[in-house]
Structure 1
Amino acid sequence: MNKHAVSLMFFVGAFYSVDAQQLKPAYNPNELKIQWKMIENGYMGQGKYLSSFTLNNASKNGLPAKGWSIYFNLPRGIDTSFVRNEFKFEHINGDLNRIMPTALFKGLKTGQSIELQMLASDWSLNRADAPSGLYLVWDDEPQTGIALANYQVVASTELKQINRAKIDIAPIATPEVVYNRNKVIEDIPANKLIKVFPTPINYSESEGSFVLTSTVTISADPAFSNEANYLAKELGVVLGKQPTISSVKGNIELRKAEMGAEAYTLSVSRNGIIITASTPAGAFYGIQSLKTLMPAAAWNGTQKLVAVPLVEVKDEPRFGWRAFMLDVARNFQTKEEVLKTLDWLALYKINVFHFHCTEDEGWRIEIPGLPELTEIGGKRGHKNANVEQLPPSFASGPDNSTAGSGFYSKADFIEILKYANERHIKVIPEIESPGHARAAVQSMQVRYDRLMKQGKKAEAEKYLLRELNDKSVHSSVQGWNDNVMDVSLPSTYTFVEKVVDGLIAIYKEAGVPLETIHMGGDEVPSGSWEKSPAFAKLKQENPLVKNTNDLWYYYYGKVNEIIKSKGLYLYGWEEAGMRKTMLDGAAHVIPNPDFANQNVHLDVWNNVIGWGAEDLAYRLANAGYKVVLSPVSNLYFDMSYDKDFEEEGYYWGGFVDVDKPYSFIPFDYLKNTKQDKMGNTLSSSFTQGKERLTDFGKTNIIGIQGLLFAETITSAERMEYMLMPKLLGLAERAWAKDPEWSTEKDEAKSNELYAKAWSDFVNRIGKRELPRLSYYKGGLKYRIPTAGAIVENGSVKANVQLPGFVIRYTTNGTEPTSSSKLYTEPVATKGTIKLRVFDARGRGGRTVEVQNK
Structure 2
Amino acid sequence: MRALFSFFVCLLWMPAAFAQKTAFDPQKLAVRWEVIENNYQQKTQTLSAFTLTNTGKTPLPATGWGLYFNFVRTIKPGSANGPLQVDHLNGDFFRLVPKPEMAPLRPGASIRVEFVSDAWVLNVTDAPGGLYWVRDSQPEKGIPLPNYTVVPSTEPKQTTRFPGDKPGFVGPQAVYAQNKALTDIPENQLPKILPSPTAYRETGSAFTLTGDVSIMTDAAFQREAGYLANELAAVLGKKTSVTTQKAPGQIQLQMAAMAPGAYQLRVNADGVVISAASGEGICYGIQSLKMLLPPMAWTKPQSSLPVPGVEVTDAPRFGWRAMMLDVARNFQPKTQVLKLLDLMALYKLNILHFHLNDDEGWRVEIPSLPELTAVGSKRGHTLDNKAFLQPSYGSGPDVQSPTGSGFYSKADFIEILKYAAERHISVVPEIETPGHARAAVKAMDARYARFMAENKPAEAGQYLLRDLQDVSVYRSVQSWNDNVMNVALPSVYRFLETVTDDLLAMYREAGAPIQTIHFGGDEVPAGVWEKSPACQALMKTDPAVKNVDDLWYYYFRKVNELVRKQGLYLYGWEEVGMRKTRLDGKAHMIPNPDFAGDGVQVDVWNNVLGWGAEDLAYKLANAGYKVVLSPVTNYYFDMAYQKSFDEPGYYWGGFTDVDKGYYFIPYDYFKSAREDRLGNPLDRSVFNGKERLTDYGKENIIGIQGLLWSETVLGPQRMEYMMLPKLIGLAERAWASDPAWATGTDEAANQRLYAQAWNTFVNQLGKRELPRLGSYAGGFAYRIPTVGAVVEDGAVRANVQLPGFTIRYTTDGSQPNANSAVYAAPVTTKGTIKLRAFSAQGLGGRTVVIRH
Normalising by the smaller structure, the TM-score range is over 0.9
Deviation at residue 79 of structure 1 after TM alignment: 2.1
C-alpha spacing 1:18/1:507, structure 2 compared with 1 (3 Å):
farther
Matched, 1:193 2:190: yes
Q: Whole-Å Cα distance in 1 between the matches of residues 540 and 382 of structure 2?
A: 42
Which residue number corresponds to residue 14 of structure 1?
A: none
Q: Answer yes or no: is the 8 Å Cα contact 1:435–1:524 preserved in 2.
A: yes
Residues 176-233 of structure 1: per-residue CA shift (max 9 Å, x gap): 0000000121111112111111110101112242110111111011111111111111
Amino acid paired to 1:80: P
Which residue number corresponds to residue 365 of structure 2?
A: 366
Q: Answer yes or no: is the 8 Å Cα contact 1:18–1:106 preserved in 2.
A: no
Q: Whole-Å Cα distance in 2 between the matches of residues 740 and 225 of structure 1?
A: 39
Amino acid paired to 1:317: P
Q: Answer yes or no: is the 8 Å Cα contact 1:127–1:155 preserved in 2.
A: yes
Matched, 1:653 2:653: yes
Residue among 58, 70, 86 paired with 1:73: 70
Matched, 1:217 2:214: yes
Amino acid paired to 1:307: P
2:281 is paired with a residue whose SS is helix
Q: Answer yes or no: is the 8 Å Cα contact 1:773–1:779 preserved in 2.
A: yes
Q: Whole-Å Cα distance in 2 between the matches of residues 628 and 572 of structure 1?
A: 10
Q: Whole-Å Cα distance in 2 between the matches of residues 637 and 20 of structure 1?
A: 55
C-alpha spacing 1:767/1:458, structure 2 compared with 1 (3 Å):
same
Residue among 112, 115, 121 paired with 1:115: 112
Which residue number corresponds to residue 10 of structure 1?
A: none
TM-score (norm 2): 0.97
Which residue number corresponds to residue 849 of structure 2?
A: 849
Deviation at residue 21 of structure 1 after TM alignment: 8.2
Which residue number corresponds to residue 524 of structure 1?
A: 524
In the TM superposition, what are the counterparts of 1:20-35 in structure 2 within 5 Å? 22-23=19-20, 26-35=23-32
TM-score (norm 1): 0.97
Which residue number corresponds to residue 793 of structure 1?
A: 793
2:311 is paired with a residue whose SS is strand
C-alpha spacing 1:130/1:529, structure 2 compared with 1 (3 Å):
same
1:685 is paired with a residue whose SS is helix
RMSD: 1.3
Deviation at residue 350 of structure 1 after TM alignment: 0.3
Q: Whole-Å Cα distance in 1 between the matches of residues 637 and 420 of structure 2?
A: 21
Matched, 1:829 2:826: no
Amino acid paired to 2:36: I
In the TM superposition, what are the counterparts of 1:743-754 in structure 2 within 5 Å? 743-754=743-754
Q: Whole-Å Cα distance in 2 between the matches of residues 781 and 723 of structure 1?
A: 10
Q: Answer yes or no: is the 8 Å Cα contact 1:20–1:65 preserved in 2.
A: no
Residues 694-713 of structure 1: per-residue CA shift (max 9 Å, x gap): 00000000000000000000
Q: Whole-Å Cα distance in 2 between the matches of residues 407 and 722 of structure 1?
A: 22
Q: Answer yes or no: is the 8 Å Cα contact 2:655–2:679 preserved in 1.
A: no
Q: Whole-Å Cα distance in 2 between the matches of residues 256 and 615 of structure 1?
A: 43
Amino acid paired to 1:268: V
Which residue number corresponds to residue 377 of structure 2?
A: 378
Amino acid paired to 2:289: L
1:23 is paired with a residue whose SS is helix
Residues 303-334 of structure 1: per-residue CA shift (max 9 Å, x gap): 01000001100000111100000000000000
Matched, 1:241 2:238: yes
2:206 is paired with a residue whose SS is strand
Amino acid paired to 1:324: M
Which residue number corresponds to residue 8 of structure 1?
A: none
C-alpha spacing 1:684/1:82, structure 2 compared with 1 (3 Å):
closer
Q: Whole-Å Cα distance in 2 between the matches of residues 220 and 157 of structure 1?
A: 62
Amino acid paired to 1:211: T
Amino acid paired to 2:199: N
Deviation at residue 683 of structure 1 after TM alignment: 3.4
Which residue number corresponds to residue 300 of structure 1?
A: 299
Matched length: 836
Residue among 139, 143, 148 paired with 2:145: 148
Amino acid paired to 2:359: D
Q: Whole-Å Cα distance in 1 between the matches of residues 496 and 377 of structure 2?
A: 18
Q: Whole-Å Cα distance in 2 between the matches of residues 65 and 20 of structure 1?
A: 14
Amino acid paired to 1:766: G
Q: Whole-Å Cα distance in 1 between the matches of residues 54 and 42 of structure 2?
A: 34
Which residue number corresponds to residue 678 of structure 1?
A: 678
Q: Answer yes or no: is the 8 Å Cα contact 1:211–1:305 preserved in 2.
A: yes
Residues 441-496 of structure 1: per-residue CA shift (max 9 Å, x gap): 01000110110011100000000001011000000010100000000111111111
- Percent of aligned pairs with the same amino acid: 58
Deviation at residue 47 of structure 1 after TM alignment: 1.5
Q: Whole-Å Cα distance in 1 between the matches of residues 482 and 763 of structure 2?
A: 49
Which residue number corresponds to residue 566 of structure 1?
A: 566
Q: Whole-Å Cα distance in 2 between the matches of residues 551 and 676 of structure 1?
A: 35
Q: Whole-Å Cα distance in 2 between the matches of residues 259 and 83 of structure 1?
A: 67
Deviation at residue 87 of structure 1 after TM alignment: 2.4
Q: Answer yes or no: is the 8 Å Cα contact 1:22–1:64 preserved in 2.
A: no
1:91 is paired with a residue whose SS is strand
Which residue number corresponds to residue 394 of structure 2?
A: 395
Amino acid paired to 1:99: L
Q: Answer yes or no: is the 8 Å Cα contact 2:614–2:687 preserved in 1.
A: no
C-alpha spacing 1:273/1:142, structure 2 compared with 1 (3 Å):
same
Which residue number corresponds to residue 9 of structure 2?
A: none
2:686 is paired with a residue whose SS is coil
C-alpha spacing 1:732/1:684, structure 2 compared with 1 (3 Å):
closer
Matched, 1:59 2:56: yes
Q: Answer yes or no: is the 8 Å Cα contact 2:76–2:118 preserved in 1.
A: no
Q: Whole-Å Cα distance in 2 between the matches of residues 643 and 24 of structure 1?
A: 50
Which residue number corresponds to residue 703 of structure 2?
A: 703
Residues 255-280 of structure 1: per-residue CA shift (max 9 Å, x gap): 11101110000000010000010110
Deviation at residue 675 of structure 1 after TM alignment: 2.5
Deviation at residue 150 of structure 1 after TM alignment: 0.6
Matched, 1:312 2:331: no
Q: Bigger CA drift: 452-461 or 37-46?
A: 37-46
Q: Bigger CA drift: 19-28 or 220-229?
A: 19-28
Amino acid paired to 1:734: A
2:308 is paired with a residue whose SS is strand
Q: Whole-Å Cα distance in 2 between the matches of residues 843 and 208 of structure 1?
A: 35
Which residue number corresponds to residue 137 of structure 1?
A: 134
Amino acid paired to 2:85: K
Q: Whole-Å Cα distance in 2 between the matches of residues 817 and 734 of structure 1?
A: 37
Q: Answer yes or no: is the 8 Å Cα contact 1:488–1:538 preserved in 2.
A: yes
Deviation at residue 678 of structure 1 after TM alignment: 1.6
Q: Whole-Å Cα distance in 2 between the matches of residues 154 and 83 of structure 1?
A: 19
Q: Whole-Å Cα distance in 1 between the matches of residues 697 and 258 of structure 2?
A: 26
Q: Bigger CA drift: 84-93 or 774-783?
A: 84-93
Matched, 1:624 2:624: yes
Q: Whole-Å Cα distance in 1 between the matches of residues 83 and 33 of structure 2?
A: 19
Q: Whole-Å Cα distance in 1 between the matches of residues 429 and 68 of structure 2?
A: 33
Q: Answer yes or no: is the 8 Å Cα contact 2:159–2:168 preserved in 1.
A: no
Q: Whole-Å Cα distance in 1 between the matches of residues 115 and 100 of structure 2?
A: 21
Which residue number corresponds to residue 434 of structure 2?
A: 434
C-alpha spacing 1:746/1:98, structure 2 compared with 1 (3 Å):
same
Amino acid paired to 1:271: D
Q: Whole-Å Cα distance in 2 between the matches of residues 47 and 246 of structure 1?
A: 67
In the TM superposition, what are the counterparts of 1:599-638 in structure 2 within 5 Å? 599-638=599-638
1:207 is paired with a residue whose SS is coil
In the TM superposition, what are the counterparts of 1:516-595 in structure 2 within 5 Å? 516-595=516-595
Amino acid paired to 2:657: D
Q: Whole-Å Cα distance in 2 between the matches of residues 517 and 20 of structure 1?
A: 64
Matched, 1:203 2:229: no
Deviation at residue 368 of structure 1 after TM alignment: 1.1
2:429 is paired with a residue whose SS is strand
Which residue number corresponds to residue 7 of structure 1?
A: none
Deviation at residue 23 of structure 1 after TM alignment: 3.1
Q: Whole-Å Cα distance in 1 between the matches of residues 223 and 80 of structure 2?
A: 66
1:846 is paired with a residue whose SS is coil
Q: Answer yes or no: is the 8 Å Cα contact 1:18–1:63 preserved in 2.
A: no
Which residue number corresponds to residue 265 of structure 1?
A: 264
Matched, 1:820 2:817: no
Which residue number corresponds to residue 688 of structure 1?
A: 688
Amino acid paired to 1:180: A
Residues 787-813 of structure 1: per-residue CA shift (max 9 Å, x gap): 000000110000000011010000000
Amino acid paired to 2:490: P
Which residue number corresponds to residue 765 of structure 2?
A: 765
1:324 is paired with a residue whose SS is strand
Amino acid paired to 1:68: W
